[in-house]
């Protein structure tokens, strides 16, 4: 699986959004929910302008062509979120691995090797051979904590494998382009209004 090619960087990127469950509200106001949350986050990246000057035209056309191809084919790729690739306390040294099989719920048992600094709520982690990116829900009290509070929950039958390594810097999501709003050519001859919605596909 290839990395998303950021030929041009976005002007803005929204924070990843955990989509809610499918819901139905009855006449009496009673709510029914299929699940507490859908797996996988969504975020949007916007581009104020894409330049078409002689030095930028080739990159702009290449980027638009590339995006159109990914969107049309629904190609899955890996991508870092512009604001979440590194933990708050970066740089951190040390390793963490999964401790135990058949894990479920919002607590992940781990074996850390003396992280130089703790991970904090809002930091994200990847587990090897486990496709969902996990968000920390509490600060580690120290770099030697043996449990992590996480979201989304680990579903029954979908436990990470015991001993697998955990990545906390340079974390990447497994995504597709869920929606692509192509830009328009403005009166200055520049493209304006490009918007890309990325959807995690665990």
CATH number (1.10.4100, 1.10.260, 3.30.70, 3.30.200) of 12-82+174-200 reads 3.30.200
Residue 48 to residue 56: CA distance in whole angstroms = 15
The model's pTM is 0.90
What are the extents of the domains in the chain?
A: 12-82+174-200, 95-171
What percent of the chain stands above pLDDT 70?
Answer: 97
Task: Report yes or no: 118 and 143 within 8 Å, Cβ to Cβ.
Answer: yes
Sheet holding 147-154, edge to edge: 95-98, 105-113, 147-154, 130-136, 124-127, 166-167
> Which pLDDT value is given to residue 1?
85
Q: Quick one: which of 171, 167, 189 has its CA closest to 41?
A: 171
pLDDT digits (tens, 9 = 90+) for 162-174: 999 999 999 999 9
Residue 119: both structure tokens together: 């991970």
> What span, in angstroms and rounded, lies between the C-alpha atoms of 94 and 38?
32
Q: pLDDT of 35-94, one tens digit each?
A: 655 679 999 999 999 989 889 999 999 999 999 999 999 999 999 999 999 999 999 999
Q: According to CATH, what is the number of the domain 95-171?
A: 2.40.30.290
Token pair of 4, please?
């998303």
């Amino acid at each position: 699986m290839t990395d998303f090619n950021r030929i041009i960087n976005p002007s803005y990127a929204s924070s990843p959004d955990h989509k809610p469950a499918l819901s139905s509200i009855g006449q009496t106001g009673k709510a029914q929910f299929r699940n507490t949350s859908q797996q996988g986050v969504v975020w949007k990246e916007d581009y104020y302008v894409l330049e078409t000057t002689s030095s930028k035209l080739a990159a702009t056309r290449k980027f638009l062509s590339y995006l159109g191809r990914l969107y049309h084919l629904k190609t899955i790729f890996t991508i870092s979120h512009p604001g979440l690739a590194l933990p708050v306390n970066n740089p951190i040294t040390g390793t963490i691995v999964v401790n135990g099989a058949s894990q479920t719920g919002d607590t992940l048992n781990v074996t850390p090797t003396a992280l130089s600094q703790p991970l904090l709520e809002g930091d994200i982690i990847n587990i090897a051979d486990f496709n969902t990116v996990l968000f920390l829900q509490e600060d580690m009290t120290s770099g030697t904590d043996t449990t992590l509070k996480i979201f989304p929950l680990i579903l029954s039958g979908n436990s990470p494998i015991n001993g697998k390594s955990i990545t906390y810097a340079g974390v990447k999501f497994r995504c597709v382009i869920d929606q692509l709003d192509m830009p328009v050519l403005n009166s200055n001859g520049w493209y304006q209004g490009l918007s890309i919605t990325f959807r995690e596909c665990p």
